[in-house]
Copies of this chain bind each other. A is one copy, B any other.
């Protein structure tokens, strides 16, 4: 559906993802990269739970934001960095599960702004449950030294 500006779009997503300390800390993986579409996943980790033992909403937001950012980044030119302008998340069910998967799809890719929607699912065995959504605006940044890559 989308034609990436960069023929190198997979590599640049993987390279930027690997440079995030947080993805390693949370044991987050890339499951799939396509132009304008990225799926990430992470395991349940007790150290990131809230008072009821569910994964914290902020960690769900971390996965969703990352998926949205990299879905947008996959369509950007080689010289662009990506920054989050805003996101909104609805929490639909408690984040109970063995694994959490975050799937983001670009809805509109503009020169400066890209609009992305994402869903988080909790997976336990064969059960896959929608637990949260995100709608996000991402911005392409060019030639700003402090946010290179």
- Give the dominant DSSP class at A's interface: mixed
* List of B residues within 8 angstroms of A149 by Cβ: 51-52
Q: Tell me if A56 counts as interface (CB < 8 A to partner B).
A: yes
* List of B residues within 8 angstroms of A16 by Cβ: 51
Q: Tell me if A48 counts as interface (CB < 8 A to partner B).
A: yes
Q: Which of B19, B20, B47 lies in contact with A22, CB distance below 8 A? A: B47
* List of B residues within 8 angstroms of A58 by Cβ: 22, 58-59, 61-66
Q: Tell me if A50 counts as interface (CB < 8 A to partner B).
A: yes
Given A21-B49, A57-B87, A61-B61; 10 other pairs, CB 8 A cutoff = A20-B49, A20-B51, A20-B56, A22-B56, A51-B149, A52-B148, A58-B62, A86-B89, A87-B89, A94-B147
Chain A positions within 8 Å of B, measured between CB atoms, are 16-17, 19-22, 25, 46-52, 56-59, 61-66, 81, 83-94, 107-108, 112-113, 115, 117, 130, 133, 135, 137, 139, 146-149
